[in-house]
Amino acid sequence: MNGEGLWLIAWKRLRKNKGSMIGLAVLIVMIVMAIAAPIITPFDPDVQILEYSVKPAGFRGTVIYKKNPSDESRPVILAVDSYVIHADSVLYNDPAGEPYRIHISKLQGTSEDEWSDRPLFLLGTDRFGRDMFTRLVYGMRISLTVGVISQSIALLIGIVLGSLAGFFRGWLDDVIMWLVNVVWSFPTLLLVVAFSVILGKGYWQTFIAIGISSWVDIARIVRGQFFSIREQEYIEATRALGYGSLRTIFRHMLPNAAGPVIVLATAGFATAIIAEASLSFIGLGVQPPTPSWGQMIKDGYGYIALGTNWGMTLFPSFAMAIAVIALNLFGDGLRDALDPKTSQR
């Protein structure tokens, strides 16, 4: 059994699964968008144009960029209704109709093209006049980061404890399984909430709370796999050859448990995204002004009861649903591709 060949077979089978490939494509697009966020978004995620708050999708508003003495690269954005150039000054009316005059030297850049703009707010703005599209893309960064970090933590704890229990058995297995059963007694989302209360609000606290809440299934599956692998001849052979426990675990047992663990981690990734959004929604989790989908849904929620500005809730909800569906589709295909039982059919 050549390891590479096995993965190649799995990939070939995965490629035939249409849903799984769609999921993978969506995920790749999302990852690229998250990485390229500063390039593809027109604004800084935290920049507020209060005059343009709560605007519908597709809104365009004229703005003037004023020099920011403290930071050249982040100009002050003025919302204007209309403006005229008069000698060396710009006369403008703000959206409320108040007239203002500003000297051209105080504006960003040298030409009108540089200091004035009429940007498109693709998905509208939130109640602070921040661009929804920009925040949605930056929120994607948070969601993907949460998934990666929390699942890394979960994998680390789950694999270590699962391996120890499955390999050494005996009292160690009893103790670890007791811990697994205790943690498993709490619904995952509730455990995440509980750990967030213990750890406090914030970026890293949220990642850790989700990570230490989601290792149980991984530990269980690793242990189970070890139980079945342990009795097979090639593991007996490692014992006969006098290999140490660590070498046997890492080189010979874990690779054979990799399939189900990867499938679980993919599902856990989706759960982590939901958990982060749920935490932010109830005010725990990643704190403002960091753009997070759950936070955005919470911000927009108040408008739903009023029956206006549904986009503020719907867009981040859809973004999250798309991400989770993509992960689930990909994970389903992965499970079928990595499951040796289905290959015989």
Partner 1 sequence: MSSSSRIVPLLLKIFSPRKLGYTLLVLIGVVVITFFIRPPGDPARVLLGQRADSASVEAMRQQLGLDKPVPVQIWIYVTNLIKGDLGRSIATNRPVIETLKERLPATAILAASSIVIATVLGILLGVMAAWRANTWIDSATMTVSLLGISVPAFVVGLLFVLLFGVVLEWFPNSGYMDRGVEYLVLPMITLAIRPLSIIARVTRSSMLDVLGQDYVRTARAKGLGYASVFFKHALRNALNPVVTTVSAWFAGLLAGTYFIEYIFNWPGIGLAAFNAIEKLDFPVIQGTVLLTAVIFVITNLFADAMYAILDPKVRVK
Given the rule CB under 8 A, which residues bind partner 1? 178-179, 181-183, 185-190, 193-194, 197-200, 270, 274, 277-278, 281-284, 297, 301, 304-305, 307, 310, 313-314, 317, 320-321, 324-325, 328-329
Minimum Å gap between C-beta 266 and partner 1 is 13
Q: Which two tokens stand for residue 27?
A: 């995920």
- Residue 84's H or E segment, with its range, is strand 82-86
**Rounded to whole angstroms, how far apart are CA atoms 337 and 177?**
29
**Rounded to whole angstroms, how far apart are CA atoms 140 and 322?**
11
Q: By C-beta, is 61 or 300 nearer to partner 1?
A: 300
Q: By C-beta, is 23 or 45 nearer to partner 1?
A: 23
Q: By C-beta, is 85 or 282 nearer to partner 1?
A: 282
Q: By C-beta, is 78 or 277 nearer to partner 1?
A: 277
Count other Cβ atoms within 10 Å, centred on residue 314: 15
**Rounded to whole angstroms, how far apart are CA atoms 271 and 130?**
28
Burial letters 238-260, b for 16+ CB under 10 A, else e: beeeeeeeeebbeebbbebbbbb
Q: Which two tokens stand for residue 8?
A: 């190649």
Q: By C-beta, is 53 or 278 nearer to partner 1?
A: 278
Minimum Å gap between C-beta 242 and partner 1 is 37
Minimum Å gap between C-beta 29 and partner 1 is 17
Strands 116-117 and 63-66: antiparallel
Minimum Å gap between C-beta 273 and partner 1 is 9
Count other Cβ atoms within 10 Å, centred on residue 228: 11
Query: Locate tokens 């599209």: which residue?
Result: 133
Query: Could you tell me which residues come within 8 angstroms of residue 284 by beta carbon, excluding any fewer than 6 positions away?
Result: 193, 196, 197, 201, 206
Minimum Å gap between C-beta 108 and partner 1 is 40
Minimum Å gap between C-beta 188 and partner 1 is 7
Q: By C-beta, is 80 or 209 nearer to partner 1?
A: 209
